[in-house]
Amino acid sequence: MTRAELRRYLEMLELSGEAVVVHAKLSSLGLDEGLDPYTFCELLVEAVGSGTLLMPAFTPSTLVLPPNPANGTSLGEPVAFSPDLATDDPVAEALRHFPGALRSQHPTHSFVALGPLARELLSTHRDNNPLGPLKKLNLHRGSVVLLGTNLQHAVGLHLALEARSLAVGSRRIALRVNAGSHIERVVIDNFPGCSRAFDKLEALLSLEVIKLVPLAQGSMRKIPLRYLLQLAHTVLEQDPLALFCNEPQCGDCSAAKARLSQRVLS
């Protein structure tokens, strides 16, 4: 895909003037060489125009992980979060360096935003509210944009679990550099869990509601966040376990299912 083609496809999504959270997997889009993450972001910013871009800039490397039960050893040495800590997502990392881009200070689930609503979207991001910017985006009737990826990456769907008191709600510990330049341990409540099962909603998406741009390799989609959450609520009404995966090694989903079973028994 050339730069001109990418610009045209993004225009077809009709992003201009909108507030959107973007999840992009560049390796799935078949981009030409030279279309690096920064160039990709330039075209995104152009497509959104007077709107606002929001992206997850997560840093799981800050987590203080428990010992591995298999051998009693640590699973890795954590690093302390600071505003300059690189995110795992190369696209969000590129957007972070744009003039005017803002980043929230959550130690594991920071977001980067650019545009008129950037400061407002990030304003209520707290340690015990990891997905706060997405709640703000929903209030502004924003959309989820999936570029070369699927609903497994739509972390906003955790809001549906939280609203129905089905969220994993686990507590984690992370490291952050505080205002005094000292490293502190931060307790994170309501830590979002697994999202593998979110793709169960794929078959239920209505082409009359979403904006779909098919590509030679992959696709681009714009989905209203409010519609996506309503869809999740409908599915969870029928089956509260629907958005939890069945992988036996997934501790988050196994724990959530166990709690739900106890709730039913009690």
Mean pLDDT of 215-221: 91
Query: DSSP readout, 87-154?
Result: PS-HHHHHHHTSTT-EE---TTT-EEEESTTHHHHHTT-BTTBTTHHHHHHHHTT-EEEEES--GGG-
Reported as half-sphere exposure (CB side, CA atoms, 13 A), residue 152 has a value of: 9
The pLDDT confidence band at residue 245, using thresholds 50, 70 and 90, is very high
Model confidence over 26-46: pLDDT tens digits? 999 988 888 999 999 999 999
User: What percent of the chain has pLDDT above 70?
Assistant: 93
Distance of CA 28 to the CA centre of its chain: 18
Mean pLDDT of 222-231: 98
Q: What is the pTM of this model?
A: 0.92
User: What percent of the chain has pLDDT above 90?
Assistant: 76
The pLDDT confidence band at residue 168, using thresholds 50, 70 and 90, is low
Mean pLDDT value across the chain: 91
**Structural domain spans, the chain:** 3-265
Check the CA dihedral 113-39-17-56 and report its sign.
Answer: negative
pLDDT over threshold 90, residue 119: yes
pLDDT of residue 75: 55
pLDDT of residue 166: 67
Model confidence over 64-107: pLDDT tens digits? 976 555 444 455 689 999 999 999 899 999 999 999 999 999 99
The span from the CA of 17 to the CA of 80, in Å, is 36
Contacts of 230 (CB under 8 A, 6+ apart): none
pLDDT of residue 249: 85
